[in-house]
């Protein structure tokens, strides 16, 4: 399976998508630069995605910034031993506190976040959602950005629903089930299609709706 690991991969995917679905040509024109958004797999990347659930990009960045200052280095052992006061100071809700603790325990007990990146998407998602607090969106975004999986489309993402609805003139905007069905036609490049519509959202809404990606020294993002 080809991984999305360079901007050339993104460009190839966009070419293939537009050739298969001409409706995407004007979407690509409006979107402009479509970023790679690749992060180093591992614990910190997954935690940053969990922090970003159901909050604005600015709030997610602020909370993750406080968390990494309070827990340095950011490891499962450090999270498990940090105490409730640290979570409050970082600004994490109780559900996210429980998820971070569950993920930390799972990783300490043997969940290999790097190994997951080499698995078939369905198998990797199944293993991730077995951890309390990790839902399909979190698993999909992790595999999309940390594994560079080429064919995942997080249809539960509200920004993607809004962008696809606006770009394709769909009223009301497609919900999760409708967007899953619609995105099937973009296989095997659904991961690039997601990047395209997040870029389209950025250009039409004036703000970035994509989940934040924690960059690392070895991960080239743009």
Cα angle, residue 194 at apex, residues 54 and 64 outer, rounded to 5°: 35
Domain locations along the chain = 7-38+150-205, 43-145
Whole-number pLDDT of residue 57: 83
For residue 157, give both structure tokens: 């993402």
Mean pLDDT of 50-66: 90
**What is the pTM (predicted TM-score) of this model?**
0.91
Of residues 124 and 222, the one with the higher pLDDT is 124
Q: What is the CATH number of domain 7-38+150-205?
A: 1.10.1670.40
The radius of gyration of the chain from alpha carbons, rounded to an integer in Å, stands at 17
Q: Residues 133-191: pLDDT tens digits?
A: 999 999 999 999 999 999 999 999 999 999 999 999 999 999 999 999 999 999 999 99
Q: How many residues does the chain have?
A: 222
Whether 47 contacts 100, CB under 8 Å: yes
**CA dist 79 to 41, 104, 105, 146, 173, Å?**
18, 7, 9, 21, 39
Alpha carbons 152 and 64: distance in angstroms, whole number: 25
Alpha carbons 43 and 20: distance in angstroms, whole number: 36
Alpha carbons 214 and 211: distance in angstroms, whole number: 10
State yes or no: pLDDT of 216 exceeds 80.
Answer: no
Whole-number pLDDT of residue 54: 85
Whether 148 contacts 192, CB under 8 Å: no
Whole-number pLDDT of residue 178: 97
- b/e burial code for range 6-27 (CB count within 10 A of at least 16 → b): ebebbebbbeebbeeeeebeeb
Percent of the chain with pLDDT over 70: 95
**CA dist 176 to 77, 165, 191, Å?**
36, 12, 16
Alpha carbons 222 and 207: distance in angstroms, whole number: 17
Percent of the chain with pLDDT over 90: 86
Residue whose tokens read 């971070």? 100
Whole-number pLDDT of residue 1: 67
Whole-number pLDDT of residue 170: 95
Alpha carbons 142 and 166: distance in angstroms, whole number: 26
Whole-number pLDDT of residue 212: 81
Q: Residues 117-146: pLDDT tens digits?
A: 999 999 999 999 999 999 999 999 999 999
Evaluate whether the domain defined by 43-145 bears CATH number 1.10.340.30.
yes
7-38+150-205 and 43-145: identical CATH topology: no
Whole-number average pLDDT of the chain: 92
Alpha carbons 120 and 160: distance in angstroms, whole number: 23
pLDDT bracket for residue 100 (50, 70, 90)? very high
Whole-number pLDDT of residue 56: 83
Whole-number pLDDT of residue 215: 54
């Amino acid at each position: 399976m080809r991984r999305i690991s360079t901007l050339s991969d993104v460009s190839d995917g966009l070419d293939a998508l537009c050739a298969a679905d001409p409706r995407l040509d004007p979407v690509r024109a409006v979107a402009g630069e479509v970023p790679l958004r690749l992060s180093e797999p591992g614990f910190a990347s997954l935690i940053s995605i969990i922090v970003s659930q159901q909050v604005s990009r600015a709030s997610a960045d602020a909370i993750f910034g406080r968390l990494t200052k309070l827990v340095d280095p950011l490891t499962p052992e450090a999270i498990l031993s940090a105490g409730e006061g640290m979570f409050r100071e970082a600004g994490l809700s109780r559900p996210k506190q429980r998820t971070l603790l569950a993920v930390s325990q799972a990783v300490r007990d043997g969940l290999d976040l790097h190994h997951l990146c080499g698995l078939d998407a369905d198998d990797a998602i199944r293993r991730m959602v077995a951890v309390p607090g990790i839902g399909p969106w979190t698993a999909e975004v992790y595999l999309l950005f940390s594994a560079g999986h080429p064919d995942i489309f997080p249809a539960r993402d509200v920004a993607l629903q809004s962008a696809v609805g606006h770009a394709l003139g769909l009223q009301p905007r497609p919900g999760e089930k409708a967007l899953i069905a619609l995105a099937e036609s973009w296989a095997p490049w659904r991961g690039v299609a997601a990047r395209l519509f997040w870029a389209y959202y950025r250009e039409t809404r004036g703000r970035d709706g994509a989940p934040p990606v924690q960059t690392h020294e070895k991960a080239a993002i743009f």
